[in-house]
Chain A
Amino acid sequence: MTYDVPVAPGESGDIETTTNSGGDVWPMWEVFVRARRGISHVHIGSLHASDPEAALQNARDVYTRRGEGVSVWVVRSADVHSFEPEDAVDYIDANEKVYRLATTYEIPDEVGQM
């Protein structure tokens, strides 16, 4: 629960960072929770666990202690594939394709609600 601890003698700010996903005794998992029936699972956080059963058990203990969900998914973080936001610009440039938006079509008032 806290924060502003000033730099103390003996404290070392140096730490090696890496983008490689190995290195811990237990692999990392992403946790998705369905808050109630009728809506999708939503990413809620991550945790470390040795296998899928342990990951589900930990997810239940850590993320659903106060009735947060009716269903839990766990996915090994290493199995999540993504693309970078910079790349996304090439794929989805809505500004150049306004004809995809319903609001760009003019429907006369006489026609009524459409």
Chain B
Amino acid sequence: MTPEERFDAVVAAEDKIEPTDWMPEGYRKTLIRQIAQHAHSEIIGMQPEGNWITRAPTLHRKAILMAKVQDEAGHGLYLYAAAETLGVKRDQLQELLHQGKHKYSSIFNYPTLSWSDMGAIGWLVDGAAITNQVMLTRCSYGPYARAMVRICKEESFHQRQGYELLIRLCQGTPEQKAMAQDSLNRWWWPALMMFGPPDSESTHTEQSMTWKIKRVTNDDLRQQFVDMTVPQAEYLGLEIPDPELTWNEGRGHYDFGPIDWEEFWAVVKGNGPMNRERIEHKLKAWEDGAWVREAAAAHAIKKTARSAA
């Protein structure tokens, strides 16, 4: 059996590919790109919520928000470690992100304008993330699939705390409910865009499905998310900002209106409201932290030398 036949057989048998196995170059490259992008999204994703930590309305909500942001850092770490098993260095990936050669999810290029955005992000953004990540627990690459299992468990806390936050606001004053509605109005469409371009225009999907990196197409995941979320919005008494949203008895799914792909591409290309600020902030944190990284490394060398003497 050639290495390639062995690879194909493992994938066909729903077994996992592990780091030391032979794999096609394209498989390795696709995974590095996807896992790195996923890791970058976790790291950049700390910023929109970090923005509200000092302004959380209660100590309880502040503790929740800090725990959530800490989880995102951990998710970034698991994912960078998964990418590293493919032969890249974390520092290399950081550099590509800083230079704008690597992308992260466009959702984080939107600003967080009100406290209720913390609820909307947990409910919609993390909800969309879970839909995608549950699929990825079945990915053919072992380290990525294992990282997803851990992440999904923690992500469930993220979504539930967000939804609960919105329940409180929607049961509160008319102003609080209006704030929640405003958040839904701003985050709904960008959340639907998180699943990527429609299947008809998604160039990666077919190959990724064959390799079992992806198990479900963008449009199918998006539909799953809409079907799951509409009743949740109804419970809150909020209105989804889509006049074309209707239950389609024949399909057994909700029909929804067209997505503004022009806006999506504009944000991907760097022209979203927060693109520049996100990377500037990331770069500043990286540069400001350089002395800590270097000092800890120097300390370790000194200690090793001392214990050897």
User: Does B228 have its Cβ within 8 Å of any Cβ on chain A?
Assistant: no
User: Looking at the complex, which one of B84, B133, B297 makes contact with A25 (CB distance below 8 Å)?
Assistant: B297
Whether B107 and A2, one on each chain, are in contact in the complex, defined by CB atoms closer than 8 angstroms, is yes
Residue of B88, B102, B103 touching A17 (CB-CB under 8 A): B88
Give bound CA distance, A61 to B104, whole Å: 25
| Inter-chain contact B38/A3, CB cutoff 8 Å | yes
- Closest approach, in angstroms, between the C-beta of A75 and any C-beta of chain B? 14
Residue of A nearest to B135 (CB): A3
Chain A CB within 8 A of B137 CB: no
Contact at A3–B91, with CB atoms within 8 Å?
Answer: no
For residue B35, give the distance in angstroms from its CB to the closest CB of chain A. Answer: 10
| A109–B102 alpha-carbon span in the complex (Å) | 67
B77 touches A25 (CB 8 A): no
Picked from A5, A25, A28, A54, the residue with its CB within 8 Å of the CB of B268 is A5
Set of chain B residues within 8 Å of A61, measured between Cβ atoms: 70, 74
Contact of A1 among B103, B126, B299 (CB under 8 A): B126
Not counting A26-B293, A65-B74, a sample of 19 additional A-B residue pairs whose C-beta atoms are within 8 angstroms of each other reads: A1-B75, A1-B126, A1-B133, A2-B104, A2-B107, A2-B129, A3-B105, A3-B132, A5-B105, A7-B203, A8-B269, A9-B269, A24-B91, A25-B297, A50-B296, A51-B300, A51-B303, A61-B70, A85-B18
9 closest Cβ pairs, A-B complex: A4-B196, A17-B87, A1-B129, A2-B105, A50-B296, A51-B300, A12-B101, A50-B300, A46-B81
Interface residues of A (CB under 8 A from B): 1-13, 15-19, 23-26, 28, 45-48, 50-51, 54, 61-62, 65-66, 82, 84-85
